[in-house]
C-alpha cells in the first residue's frame, strides 16, 4: 500500500516518540512506541526533518533548507514514507 501523500501545504513534526541518531548517510529514526527503525538516507533530508516544527509548511521548510524546487517531489515522497512509518506526524 502506498503512503498517504504529503503536500507542500502540510505541517509536520517529528513524532514525540521518535529519537534520531545522526549517521554519515543521514540518520536512524527509532520509534519507541511501535518499535520501528527507519532510515533517513540523506543528510539533506535529515536537515528538513529536523527543521519541521509544525508551524511552517513543508514547502516553507524545504525553501528555508535550500532544497531546489526540482527536488521537492522526491522530498515529498520521502516525507510521506516517514509519515506512514509514524516517524512524522501532522499537527
- Quote the CA–CA distance of 76 and 79 in Å, as a whole number: 5
Q: What is the pTM of this model?
A: 0.94
Q: What angle do CA 28, 34, 37 make, to 5 degrees?
A: 20
The reported pLDDT for the residue numbered 48 is 98
Query: What does DSSP say about strands 88-90 and 37-40: parallel, antiparallel, or unpaired?
Result: unpaired
Residue 12: Cβ-neighbour burial (10 angstroms; 0-12, 13-18, 19+): buried
User: CB of 8 within 8 A of CB of 72?
Assistant: yes
At 18-74, the pLDDT tens digits run 999 999 999 999 999 999 999 999 999 999 999 999 999 999 999 999 999 999 999
The reported pLDDT for the residue numbered 4 is 87
Q: Is the pLDDT of residue 2 over 90?
A: no
Cell numbers 541518531 label which residue? 21
Question: What are the boundaries of each domain within the chain?
Answer: 15-86
Amino acid at each position: 500500500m502506498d503512503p498517504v501523500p504529503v503536500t507542500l501545504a502540510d505541517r509536520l513534526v517529528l513524532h514525540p516518540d521518535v529519537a534520531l541518531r545522526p549517521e554519515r548517510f543521514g540518520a536512524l529514526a527509532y520509534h519507541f512506541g511501535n518499535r520501528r527503525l527507519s532510515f533517513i538516507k540523506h543528510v539533506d533530508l535529515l536537515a528538513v526533518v529536523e527543521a519541521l516544527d509544525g508551524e511552517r509548511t513543508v514547502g516553507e521548510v524545504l525553501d528555508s533548507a535550500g532544497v531546489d524546487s526540482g527536488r521537492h517531489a522526491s522530498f515529498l515522497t520521502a516525507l510521506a514514507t516517514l509519515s506512514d512509518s509514524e516517524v512524522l506526524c501532522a499537527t
